[in-house]
Structure 1
Amino acid sequence: MNVNGTTIFRLRQRLHESDRVSDRPRSGRPRCTRQRQDRKLIRNHIKNRFLSASASSRQTRRIKNQRISANTVRRRLSTSSLRARHPYIGPILTQRHRHQRTLWAQEHSAWDGIQWRSVVFSDESQFCIGHADGHVRVWRISGERYQADCVREHDRWGGASLMMCCCTGSP
């Protein structure tokens, strides 16, 4: 099993003493928030996905009425599988836009390689010149990237920018 002999000896001894091999509870620093406060933190971040951990820490008080740290907020959110990630930034889509995109995908799902060769693919990237893009994070669970409240919508025609386009296709 490629395990040290003293490890096996200690596990056998612990099993004999306490009928289990799991670690004993350790002392450690007491929690500075109650479970009710933790649930409220998680609820607030699910309601407002773009709320920063530092802003949330300024609003939450410890048991002795002191502020909690932003790292404490991050740890509490991490235990509920919420991670701070870059939001998907996409165009503003209405229900009609989403429905039309779904219809287009369903109509073209059965195309073969010959039909796709007659299509020209293009992509474009916009580089902001007039303002900074910022470092906004969104608190979300894995798999929620395109969920409506995790998307940061933006207007494509705001501010000075440079647009680069590229096309590719078969001759």
Structure 2
Amino acid sequence: MPCLTEVDRHRALGLPQAGLPISEVSLRMNANRTTIFRPRQRLHEKDTVSDRPRSGRPMCTTQRQDRNLARNHMNNRFLSASASARQTRGRNNQCISANTVRRRLSTSGLRARCPYIGPILTQRQRHQRTLWVHEHAAWDSITLRSVVFSDESRFCIDHANGRVRV
């Protein structure tokens, strides 16, 4: 179940006061009954509906830096995470790691991929290939047996293959 935002916590307080049962409120807000009931209980006990502080290490970058990282990598697709980490300073002027950059880019929806290596076909070349396929679509199995189609793939088991990921 998701945590309730500040607005949702106030809605969880207001809807039962308006006369809706807690089970109906929990269905509307797509949350568990106890999740709806807790802000009410916390308001009576501690006079606040804010969520209690959570444990965990604070993030070393701000949201603005995260957006800048994503924008820089969108503008320069060949920029590596380690180069970006060297250029970016986190909160309190501390260094950030390349894994931090990768995590921030992942939350932005960016993933490392291998760049396309191959012939970039023009519109004329695509048209000619389509014509070739249509001309040879009627070949029978005996004729096709005399043709060899090949495909090459690289497999690297022992070591890094040196390909750049963008």
Within 5 Å, give how 1:21-100 maps onto structure 2. 26-91=54-119, 93=120, 97-100=121-124
Within 5 Å, give how 1:142-157 maps onto structure 2. none
Structure with a larger share of its residues in helix: 2
Offset from partner CA, 1:110-157 (integer Å, 9 cap, x none): 568424765635325488xxxx9513111xxxxxxxxxxxxxxxxxxx
Whole-Å separation in 2 of the counterparts to 1:136 and 1:13: 50
Q: Give unmatched runs, 5+ long, in structure 1.
A: 1-10, 139-171
The question of 1:134 aligning with 2:162 is answered yes
Partner of 1:15: 36
Structure with a larger share of its residues in strand: 1
The match for 2:127 among 103, 106, 109 is: 103
Please say which of residues 111-120 and 78-87 is displaced more in the overlay.
111-120
The alignment's TM-score, normalised by the length of structure 1, stands at: 0.54
AA aligned to 1:42 is A
- Rg (Cα) greater in structure: 2
AA aligned to 1:31 is M
AA aligned to 2:78 is F
Query: CA separation of 1:60/1:135 partners in 2, compared to 1, >3 Å: closer, same or farther?
Result: same
Whole-Å separation in 2 of the counterparts to 1:70 and 1:57: 5
CA displacement at 1:66 relative to structure 2: 1.6
AA aligned to 1:32 is C
| SS at structure 1 position matched to 2:149 | strand
Whole-Å separation in 2 of the counterparts to 1:110 and 1:125: 25
Offset from partner CA, 1:50-105 (integer Å, 9 cap, x none): 211111100000121121111110011001111112222213x3xxx421233125
Partner of 1:144: none
| % identity of equivalent residues | 52
Whole-Å separation in 2 of the counterparts to 1:80 and 1:111: 46
AA aligned to 2:37 is H
Q: Give unmatched runs, 5+ long, in structure 2.
A: 1-31, 41-50, 155-159
Whole-Å separation in 2 of the counterparts to 1:14 and 1:126: 53
